[in-house]
Copies of this chain bind each other. A is one copy, B any other.
């Protein structure tokens, strides 16, 4: 397991049938991964594709949780806000990830787009109806949730016990790993999150994130070949910080 997973990690394993969602047009890697063609068609029939601009909201914290979404393209940010305006980024989600499923009446967090992208929306009730018909779907949701839980717990350790430098290193590593799992071979990875987003994710101020990234760059551990890109040139150094191997 890697440090500080920015996204749910369970990719198709053995025994997973691969199909294509008619609506989404993309190979199903998320919730629908275990479905066959007929089931995929049925899922697609109940769902609606929507294009979203950068920074637009998919749903807000506290809103009635009536829909679930599959992010089909783009990168999203999950946020939790406090009464006084402080807020935290609790995770990032990539194409293929399921967003907004909860058994609670209201979304416990908000979700918005970091890049422009598309989501596939389905009524929560319809999804729950599909569960009865396709038990594999329910199985899949359990697995996805537990993997997400494990990665959230790693994140917890990072916030509770890592220093600023370690957290930023762990973030960069997990960013790279998430994209590698999704087919980007590197060594350059997309980083559409601003310093502020990263700070809100890691419990740090914008300035500390900026200073730490500058330092990594000065040390030759990373390069920033553009506004929204990062290259990890000395990944092992970052990894050492991220895993807490020595100090």
Contacts and interface: CB of A to CB of B under 8 A. Distances in A.
A247 interface: yes
A102 B1 CA distance: 13
A126 interface: no
Contact of A147 (B104, B135, B245): B104
Nearest to A200: B160
Nearest to A86: B161
Given A142-B103, A142-B138, A152 B156 contact: yes
B138 A108 contact: no
B246 A160 contact: no
A161 B82 contact: yes
Given A82-B244, A244-B83, A152 B149 contact: yes
- What DSSP secondary structure best describes chain A's contact surface? helix
25 contacts: A80-B154, A83-B245, A86-B244, A87-B157, A87-B161, A88-B160, A90-B153, A90-B156, A102-B146, A102-B150, A104-B147, A108-B153, A109-B150, A109-B153, A138-B142, A141-B142, A145-B149, A149-B152, A155-B156, A156-B156, A156-B159, A159-B203, A160-B201, A160-B202, A161-B203
Given A103-B143, A145-B149, 15 more contacts: A10-B103, A80-B157, A83-B245, A87-B161, A88-B156, A90-B157, A102-B150, A104-B147, A104-B150, A131-B135, A135-B135, A138-B139, A152-B156, A156-B156, A160-B201
